[in-house]
Amino acid sequence: MNDTIDPGDVRIFSGRSHPELAKGIAEHLEIPLEKTYFSRFSNDNLFIQLGGSVRGRSVIIVQSLIPPVSEYLMELLMMLDIARSAAAREVHAIIPYFSYARSDKKNAPRISITARLIADLLQTAGATQVMTMTLHSPQVHGFFSVPTDPLTARHLFVSHLREENLDPSNTVVVAPDYGRAASAGRLAAQLGLPSISAEKTRISDTEVHIGELLVKQVMGFKNALIYDDEIATGGSVINLCNLLVQSGIQDIKVVCTHGLLIGDAITRLTAIPQLTEIITTNTVPISPKKRHEKLFVLNVAPVFGEAIKRNYLRQSIGNLFAFWEDMFETDELEL
């Protein structure tokens, strides 16, 4: 049985948000990254042209929804529409960071459940399949009407952390809120560590309050491993770190899939002496000025590349699937 992708049958393109990751995925698949041409008309309208024929082929389009999110979303929608209109056999939207997953419910009057809206727009534009990583909440998966694969980077984190020989007698995994408790618990189980959850109340986009119950929960531990889906401004993690330090924690490691590190987040985080390491992935690009000796970035290109390859070959991707453990106790079954 052939276990490779036919390079003549697949075309991969990148939007402008993260061409480096798209190149890494293409290298893993051993197919060239095709050129895409971008320009702008005098009235500010975008012009996009795919640089290779897609007729009758499987098309892969890579685009993370990072700032400026609306600009990159429009690029993605146009590229999907171009591929569909040019008679592509199938069109795969690879969105390593789906930022609108945070807009997953109606928690105020007269607002949009934007995650569902974007899911509908992707299908309307021409996506026949969507692939992403670590959605903010599992329910967003259900907003999509086309096959959607939310992958996980947890195995990358586990492999990295196992090399650090964490002591289970004095190390605890901490979820920043109850919504991340299940994910933190799965990471803790794979590392043989206990886990707890903080009680977080969000006051605004940049301000949160963490309950004092955490102080009692971490008593007796010296090391803490904070596990979250993303770090944007860093406000939540900084508050949590300060509370952990006040509770007697001497060493803190932060693990997150999406390290946006907006503004001076990396400066504020690394200024905490007890915070010794920030472990994230390259689902979003991290500029050289944000690189720090405490920051370790894991490469997810092979994860996406392997999932794309298995989809193409019609093989299971069960052990790459983010919420698999929520449904079954083993990843040996086929998805």
Q: Distance between CA atoms of 265 and 123, rounded to whole angstroms?
A: 35
**Which DSSP letter does residue 158 get?**
H
**For residue 234, which of 215, 217, 254 has the smallest C-alpha distance?**
254
Catalytic site residue from 200, 216, 289, 309? 200
Cα angle 215, 220, 221 (rounded to 5 degrees) comes to: 85
* 64 and 17 Cβ atoms separated by less than 8 Å: yes
Strand partners, 12: 33, 60
Helix, strand, coil share of the chain (percent; to 5): 35, 25, 40
Measured distance CA(191)–CA(170) in Å, rounded: 13
Q: E-strand spans in the chain? A: 10-14, 36-40, 46-50, 58-62, 90-95, 129-133, 148-151, 171-175, 195-197, 200-202, 208-210, 223-231, 251-259, 275-281, 295-298
Active site residue 200: yes
Catalytic residues: 200
